[in-house]
Amino acid sequence: MEGEVHFVTVFIEDDGINVFHVLSDNAYHRKVYILPPETGLRSGRAPSSQGKKVAIVGAGSVGSKVAEMLLRSGIDTLRIFDGDVFLPGNLERHVLDWRDVGYHKVHGLKRRLLHIVPGANIMTVDQNLNWQKSASTNAAHFDLITACDIIVDAAGDPATSMLLGALAFENQKPFVSVEVFEGGIGALVAPSVPKRNAAYTLGREALLNWTDEKGRVVPLSAGDRAYEAISHNGEIIVADDAAISMAASHAARVVLDILDDKLDDFRWLLIGFRKEWAFDMHGHVIALDVGGPSEWNSNTEDAEAQKFVIEIAGELLDALKAFTQ
């Protein structure tokens, strides 16, 4: 403000504070509003789910949206794993923007999440699980993941999904895998919950058997670019942000229902976003029963056996990745 301040007058009222600055050549009026403190959470999160930890593997377009939805819904302790760098081509579908180009996705995502909930407990690991690493590094990452209350797979990599499903089953942790089909024609949301339905690996086998029976082994042929597919009439279709957001929303809903202990149907969901492959229309949902609860029959406390399992985990992941390519 220009001019010399002669005096300042402050009026305290019920709805705020009025401040008058009287200068030698002018006067200014400002009003400061005092907002009442908010009580409770607008998301209506169940008390039993507050403080729960969620591991999210994959901070790409799907994983970043799932993380943000969970945080906005009252889940503020997240462990996020991804080694990829955010590039300009990711802007179409990701929650990040140009300010994050060139940084690791997990670091940019952490900054964004802390701008939403400043006190959130966000831990990031800027490495992919399918990278070749030492046994001790793999073991440390596995420990971080299995220490969480639920594991979310948004990696978009079959080998990583199989590994995470096995880790979840061995440690009796709920597991949710989400993937978007090529071209954005639909998505798969696959929950695997101890004592409720089949282990993820068995569920995957049931899914493959179902596609074999229907004669629909592969949803669509992949195009030249990521997220691109060729429809049955030769049209090139691309998974856009709307398709990614719908897949992430369904996955986040399932994760929240598991944390709140409100999920009463544990079938896998194949969700259609357009008329293509097995889907009759946008909104067509196929609920697939993948089998009853699986039992883990290797309840060993043998330290040497556990060490051996950890040491071969990295080799197994590399083999699975090579097999699925």
> Which domains are assigned to the chain?
1-38 (no CATH), 52-324 (3.40.50.720)
Q: How far is CA 223 from CA 93, 166, 299, in A?
A: 18, 31, 45
Number of neighbours of residue 144 by Cβ within 10 angstroms: 15
Give the model confidence (pLDDT) of 164-198 as tens digits: 999 999 999 999 999 999 899 999 999 999 999 99
Mean pLDDT of the chain: 84
What pLDDT is stored for residue 38 in this prediction? 64
- 3-state secondary structure (DSSP) of residue 45: coil
What pLDDT is stored for residue 1 in this prediction? 46
DSSP at 225: S
Q: Which amino acid is at 230?
A: I
User: Residue 40 pLDDT more than 70?
Assistant: no
Output the six-digit token pair for 201.
């690996």
Query: Any idea how long the chain is?
Result: 325
What pLDDT is stored for residue 294 in this prediction? 80
Listed as own residue / partner, the contacts of 39-44 with beta carbons closer than 8 Å and 24 or more positions apart are 41/74, 43/72, 43/73, 43/74
- Give the pLDDT mean for 105-119: 96
Q: How many CA atoms lie within 13 A of 228 on its CB side?
A: 7
- Give the pLDDT mean for 133-150: 93
Give the model confidence (pLDDT) of 215-247 as tens digits: 765 666 666 666 667 777 777 888 999 999 999
Give the model confidence (pLDDT) of 5-29 as tens digits: 556 666 677 667 777 666 666 766 6
**What DSSP line would sit under 254-297, residue for residue?**
HHHHHHTT------EEEEESSSBTTBSSTT-EEEE---S-----
Output the six-digit token pair for 161.
């999904």
User: Residue 288 pLDDT more than 90?
Assistant: yes
Give the model confidence (pLDDT) of 49-102 as tens digits: 778 999 999 999 999 999 999 999 999 999 999 999 999 999 999 999 999 999
**pTM, whole model, 2 decimals?**
0.81
Angle in degrees, 0-180, between the axes of helices 158-170 and 200-214, rounded to the nearest 10: 130
Residue with tokens 């976003």: 273
Answer whether 180's CB lies under 8 Å from 226's CB: no
Helix count (H) and strand count (E) of the chain?
7, 14
